[in-house]
Structure 1
């Protein structure tokens, strides 16, 4: 009996007992669908994060400084960081202090308790790309200038949510108060997230010196540097670390990381998480394989007389073995195909749900299964069926034809 005949018999056997076949495939279907969904989400998230880092630029270097504690006089301030940029213009193109502050934001009688207030310098905005270092773009007006920052002027740039909710879309030149201090709106950021309360569009950018006054802090713990180009990012990072070590005499007082390093770290974490989740999903494939083996053992018992007749007519052990292996492989292959279709549908549904939650629309998060992932999932499902179908097939092949014919 050739492969085509064995395949037809396998399909005929599955059609004859549809419910049992479906229950047999269930573990394979769930396992394959889970693997497809996990790999799709992982690839989608990886692409989404890479696009976010690309928007920030490959030259960005974040420096976190926590110092040596209150008992030490060793510290650095924004002037030290500006001096470092001026000293090495061939490696560093600019720096912006980044001060996160809490404040009561009010417009008239309305309070905005979830609005994020950030203190930055004029370097936080790149005029050529019309984009701030956090990724969003300027929609109206202008961003903070050197004079605004140097003179601690009470001006601000607000997000699209505040522009609409607090000012009805007409915010330029009007005032909003932060901790009772009025700030004049000089710019409005374009919509970046979903323009809802607490989102990335619910923000205010003010000069970092004003932010330090609002939160009562005398120093900055976070700086955003830009290297002159992406090829000198590692050298620029080394220069910054050398300057900080010169002050603190220990590497435990600060931490510096470039965009490339952040992207690599995030990719490594995501790949590890995906591998763990795929291994968990593979348990369903294992359960599905055990289910196939169990049903095939039952099938061998039910068809013992048929096996005896075939052997008496000249069928060899390899013919019987191949028939049952092909039947097990066909069962798992059909289950794998159903699982692939189900996984693709679930990935598309989750794409819409996550894109809506992130407020990114069709240009944001997209979880699309790769052909490689689909091929591997299908191959593994067929392999599981063949592997777990071998024991029942071998049992059928070893049956004594006389005992099989007498079986009732």
Structure 2
């Protein structure tokens, strides 16, 4: 018999026992579908992170200064960071101190207790992308400017929640009290969350970092956001920053610097490990499916023992019997793999559309960031190949058992 005849016999066997064939394929369908879903969602999340990084800028460098600041000579003033940028214009284009605090925010008789106040410099807003370094965009007015920061002027940029709740959407030029001091609203941020709520991402205010330090009663900034001149100079800029801070503190544990590229690598590495674990768990279904195929094929060999005896008595060799049953195990796993891929793609698309908006909203990223759960061609091909391979692998034992049957004993089998 040739391979074509083997496949015809396999298809005929599938048609004869449709329910058995379906149950045989079910484990493969579930396993392949689960793997496709996990890989699709993982790819979607990874792409969303990459988009967020692109929107924030791959030349962004974050420096955390723990320091040994005791109010004496070991205290690192923000002015020193500005001097560092001025001294290395070939790799650094700007720096913004980043201070986060809370204070009494009032408008009229209403007090907002959960509002987050960020103290930054004008560098926090990038003119080329028309967005802040953390992805916020303006709906009205302007962001803080150099003169505002230099003179510590009492001006602020409000989040969408405060602009709507306190001023009914007409906040520009109005005043709001922060820590008992009136601030003039010069800008309003675009809404980034699905809903405007107290304490949410849109309940925030940007002011000059000098003013934020006064609210905190501190002179120490623990986080700086540097801008490298380009993506290519980010690594060199990090070296410059680390070198300066080491010379200042003489202690590598006094600071920590990370580029956006390093953050992406770290996030992708963690996501990769998590995806491997989930895929390994989902692959257990493929193992169960393979055992199901082996079990069904063993039953098939038992049921067709006399047929095997007749074929052997007519001159069929061991390899002919072996190939017949191996090929019969292939179509159920192959069809199950195809159905599993289609099922996985469909579920991944539906789930991706349902959770994509929630993920984007909760991460608070810009409107240009999207979530799309799509499987890669490589994942589809590997899933199909594994499903077929499992069918052949687990079909070999029953096929080998059939090939070794004694033709006389097989003919006498009832």
- Other-structure match for 2:212: 211
- Other-structure match for 1:246: 247
CA contact (8 A) 2:62 2:257 kept: yes
Q: Deviations over 1:312-359 (max 9, x none)?
A: 233222221112111111111111111111110111112112222123
TM-score, scaled to structure 2: 0.92
- Other-structure match for 1:77: 77
2:407 to 398, 401, 404: 401
Deviation larger for 156-165 or 259-268? 156-165
Secondary structure, aligned partner of 1:171: coil
Deviation larger for 341-350 or 127-136? 127-136
Deviation of 1:114 (Å): 4.4
- Other-structure match for 2:68: 68
- Other-structure match for 1:21: 21
Deviation larger for 176-185 or 327-336? 176-185
CA contact (8 A) 2:297 2:395 kept: yes
- Other-structure match for 2:226: 225
CA contact (8 A) 1:75 1:247 kept: no
Q: Deviations over 1:81-131 (max 9, x none)?
A: 111112222221110000111234444455545443211111111123211
Say if 1:71 and 1:399 are closer, same or farther in 2 by CA, change over 3 A: farther
TM-score, scaled to structure 1: 0.93
Deviation larger for 20-29 or 366-375? 20-29
CA contact (8 A) 1:136 1:190 kept: yes
Deviation of 1:72 (Å): 7.8
- Other-structure match for 1:290: 291
Say if 1:345 and 1:247 are closer, same or farther in 2 by CA, change over 3 A: same
- Other-structure match for 2:7: 7
Supply the distance in 2 between the matched residues of 1:314 and 1:135 (Cα, whole angstroms).
Answer: 75
CA RMSD of superposed structures (Å)? 2.2
Supply the distance in 2 between the matched residues of 1:63 and 1:262 (Cα, whole angstroms).
Answer: 12
- Other-structure match for 2:133: 133
- Gap runs ≥5 in structure 1: none
Say if 1:108 and 1:377 are closer, same or farther in 2 by CA, change over 3 A: farther
- Other-structure match for 1:375: 381
CA contact (8 A) 1:195 1:202 kept: no
Deviation of 1:363 (Å): 5.3
Supply the distance in 2 between the matched residues of 1:12 and 1:70 (Cα, whole angstroms).
Answer: 84
1:189 maps to 2:195: no
CA contact (8 A) 2:61 2:226 kept: yes
Deviation of 1:165 (Å): 3.6
- Superposition pairs for residues 31-50 of structure 1, below 5 Å? 31-50=31-50
